[in-house]
């Protein structure tokens, strides 16, 4: 998908939501931006966050290059049971 297509897909989702054509109990959209460095993924997200919430700090950026090793996913979802000390006694 080209940049223009990505912008159009995001714009269409926002328009549907604002026109009342989407389910109010569901997210406006769920977007996954993929591509090489420098194509505008982060800039599109910052612009969208600024447009929707008046702050580009209103986005959560996860750099997936930090999760290339199988074990590194624990940094995102937490360590599996048994690796973390229990905080309360098991009865």
Q: pLDDT tens, 12-66?
A: 988 988 888 888 888 888 888 888 889 898 999 899 889 888 998 888 888 888 8
Are 7 and 44 a contacting pair, CB within 8 Å?
yes
Angle formed by the axes of helices 3-18 and 41-53, nearest 10°? 20
What are the C-alpha distances in Å from 91 to residues 81, 82, 84? 16, 16, 18
pLDDT at 82: 74
Annotated domain spans of the chain? 3-77
Buried b / exposed e along 36-49 (16+ C-beta atoms within 10 A): eeeeebeebbbebb
pTM score: 0.65
């Amino acid at each position: 998908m080209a940049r223009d297509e990505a912008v159009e897909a995001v714009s269409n989702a926002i328009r549907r939501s604002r026109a009342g054509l989407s389910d109010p109990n569901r997210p406006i959209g769920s977007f996954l931006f993929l591509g090489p460095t420098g194509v505008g993924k982060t800039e599109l997200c910052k612009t969208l966050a600024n447009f929707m919430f008046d702050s580009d700090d209103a986005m959560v950026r996860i750099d997936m290059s930090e999760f290339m090793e199988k074990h590194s996913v624990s940094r995102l979802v937490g360590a599996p049971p048994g690796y973390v000390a229990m905080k309360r006694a098991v009865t």
